[in-house]
């Protein structure tokens, strides 16, 4: 198993068994760290954070297809619209009746700053 120092490009290899699993990684890392110190080098450490979203998936009550709730308005292949919580929205012809907006205004967003 190999790791590369992102700042210097130095390659560090860890001994592995035939399955590719590191051998007693804690002990090996401590030995490596001690070796750096003995050689007068400053050991480096790298941290990486990973994040991902898993969106909810609902079943459309009209056509039974799956709809991923990944945005403010989520549209099924059959044309049904759902909000981000999965609630079925009114037909687009009714959108904006109270405010005078059209479906296009709502879907594209206005020029107003939030």
Domain coordinates in residue numbering, the chain: 2-38, 56-108
With a threshold of 0.85, does the pTM exceed it?
no
- Terminal-to-terminal C-alpha distance of the chain: 49
pLDDT-derived band of residue 45, with 50, 70 and 90 as boundaries?
low
Measured CA to CA, the distance from residue 30 to residue 4 in angstroms comes to 18
Count how many Cα atoms sit within 13 Å of the Cα of residue 77 in the half-sphere of its side chain. 5
The token pair at 53 is: 């979203």
Residues near 50 by Cβ (< 8 Å), separated by ≥ 6? Answer: none
Supply the pLDDT for residue 102.
73
Convert the pLDDT of each residue in 74-98 to its tens digit. Answer: 999 999 999 999 999 998 888 877 7
Convert the pLDDT of each residue in 12-25 to its tens digit. Answer: 666 677 777 766 76
Cβ-in-10-Å burial (0-12, 13-18, 19+) of 76 comes to buried
């Amino acid at each position: 198993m190999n790791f590369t120092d992102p700042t210097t490009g130095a390659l560090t290899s860890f001994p592995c068994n035939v399955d590719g699993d590191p051998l007693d990684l804690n002990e090996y890392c401590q030995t490596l760290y001690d070796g750096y110190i003995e050689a007068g080098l400053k050991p480096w450490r790298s941290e990486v954070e990973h994040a991902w979203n898993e969106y909810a998936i609902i079943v459309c009550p009209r056509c039974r297809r799956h709809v991923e709730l990944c945005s403010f308005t989520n549209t099924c292949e059959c044309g049904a619209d759902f909000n981000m919580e999965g609630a079925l929205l009114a037909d687009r012809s009714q959108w904006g009746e109270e405010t005078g907006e059209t479906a296009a205004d709502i879907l594209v967003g206005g020029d107003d700053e939030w």
